[in-house]
Structure 1
């Protein structure tokens, strides 16, 4: 064998070995997902895994619509629930980047009559450390659940409730804080929250199949949401999306969510300094660090740092995991709140981490 042929053979061998090492364990991934989405005649879900922006796994399971017997595809649009908070936090940081607000501003700067608004900052709202009452825990929520609520009406609904703790005293997940953030976005930008997200995030990131949720508008390839009862499945409870608002009212696809992650990675929406704010851990008043940035939980998978967040809204559940050190993104959606993709998404992220590690 000539030296040239030997060199070519060695190059091929190196490439071939690297390709093998970088292959996802698809069979194990399938079986992990099927542990919760095995019945093809039930509501299902969609899952996607990407490495360095390249899709390496993209599959759907079950039905998108039971009445019409429509199979789920990875193209279907899901309500993403609290994953909406990522978009709200980035919108706030975009406005800060434009010099229109500061995350250390008190809420009273934008909502004059907010109780203790001079002590609660935008930072407290972003990090779930404000202490204000979570409207989803209020017994009176059912009285407004199907009403069309303006953002200021939503804020008025909970703002006079007793606080749970002083601002910055503890971390406690809170939907009300993100509703206030949505209202501030409208006040500062002069646009509706829906328009701001559409024009400044969806359009810039190329997310052509993402929407502010609606039950009235015709959404191409919409997955329908379901609950499971003792006698079988029923259509999801109808709510007004103006109630969860900026804490949980967006819709998207697995492909669009990858575009979202790529836009963040490539600083298409935020510069590096603002992006860093979203993904760093912060401290409570007593100096104790907690594992939440701005719109993301900052945790670990098998000792490797990750960023993750789930969502739950009537008829739907969602979960996204990003492993920055390996540039691995995993997203899972379900169109029944009886099937949670949370642990499944984390488990397939573990599989991806093991088989796709550099």
Structure 2
């Protein structure tokens, strides 16, 4: 009798889990099919993982409009500013080896940098340096097609007036992460691409992740598009030496999950070092701001959330991680007309709800 009751109990539990999974799939489908209504337009890949394993992964739309190629879940997308996660962790790796001091002024590494005695590595990591963001400079278009060395790229913006004294404000800044990439090269003796490949991609098993190139043949590449005058066009071409370590990596949904799992397992840096990336820091006036090293750090209804998006010509991306529940949601799209930011957060909220947590509006768009 006891065995019979136990068997019935296990069947009920199993059925309940299956029903919840079906419910989640259906609700995510309804969100994404609404975004990607036309199967003949650019699309995207969305994945939800729990405890390190995918529980939802689907592709929508076209990976290549001209060749009429459907999107697949293993397509490779440009990440845009999600690249900053990798740059920040690379700096933390070097700090762990005592090759970089997070509180050191940047003149220690780049002696001729203006105000380099006042701006620290920490300021660069947290977007509190006050350095002019090169993406806001009108003259950017003049160099956008040029293949510049990191030093040449830094020379492009370094003499611009600072926007504020270091540490006074949080203001999102791509220039700071370009400088960090240059410091990685100076300290390690490797190119940024070589360093990331050897010390992050290989360690995490990210075989389908690369430094972006429009020249190199990349298997399973999703082509990027923009929408102009209500028509799709191929993305604007730029030299990837311009965004460099602030936005020039490319990857797949599966590889991004491997990245998150590698961080959780401390395969890239130790737990004490990693904690620095997910810590909220203070401005000079002791005001706390919601950014660590390469991630936005939020607390929603007491639930910690780490998130970051990316945008580069032809692509928009978004990743959300909820450490308390070990839930990871990644959205990758191949038209910069389709932002996955809010949708990725909505999917994360749904996953929390189906997991038995209170339904919440996760975080505002970043």
Q: TM-score range by the shorter chain?
A: over 0.9
Distance 1:11 1:227, change over 3 A: closer
The Cα of 1:304 is off from its aligned counterpart by 2.3
- Aligned partner of 2:244 in structure 1 is 245
Q: Deviations over 1:82-106 (max 9, x none)?
A: 0000000000000011111111111
- Aligned partner of 1:32 in structure 2 is 31
1:202 aligns with 2:192: no
1:219 aligns with 2:215: no
Is contact 1:125–1:177 with CA below 8 Å preserved after alignment? Answer: yes
Give structure 2 stretches of 5+ with no counterpart: 358-366
Distance 1:334 1:248, change over 3 A: same
Which structure 2 residues correspond to residues 266-277 of structure 1 after superposition, within 5 A?
266-277=265-276
- Aligned partner of 1:346 in structure 2 is 345
TM-score, normalised to structure 2, is: 0.95
**1:107, 1:24 → 2: CA distance?**
52
The Cα of 1:153 is off from its aligned counterpart by 0.5
User: Higher relative contact order by CA 8 Å / sep ≥ 6: 1 or 2?
Assistant: 1
The Cα of 1:10 is off from its aligned counterpart by 3.3
**1:98, 1:88 → 2: CA distance?**
16
Distance 1:84 1:253, change over 3 A: same
CA RMSD of aligned residues (A): 1.4
**2:232, 2:10 → 1: CA distance?**
55
Which structure 2 residues correspond to residues 185-334 of structure 1 after superposition, within 5 A?
185-301=184-300, 304-334=303-333
**1:77, 1:291 → 2: CA distance?**
30
> Counterpart of 2:316 in 1: which secondary structure?
strand
The Cα of 1:44 is off from its aligned counterpart by 0.6
**2:22, 2:355 → 1: CA distance?**
6
The Cα of 1:273 is off from its aligned counterpart by 0.7
**2:90, 2:23 → 1: CA distance?**
34
The Cα of 1:140 is off from its aligned counterpart by 0.7
Is contact 1:24–1:351 with CA below 8 Å preserved after alignment? Answer: no
The Cα of 1:27 is off from its aligned counterpart by 1.5
Q: Deviations over 1:141-196 (max 9, x none)?
A: 01110000000001111111000000000000000000000000000000000000
Is contact 1:22–1:357 with CA below 8 Å preserved after alignment? Answer: no
**1:12, 1:33 → 2: CA distance?**
31
Distance 1:302 1:62, change over 3 A: farther
Aligned residues: 357
**1:275, 1:216 → 2: CA distance?**
35
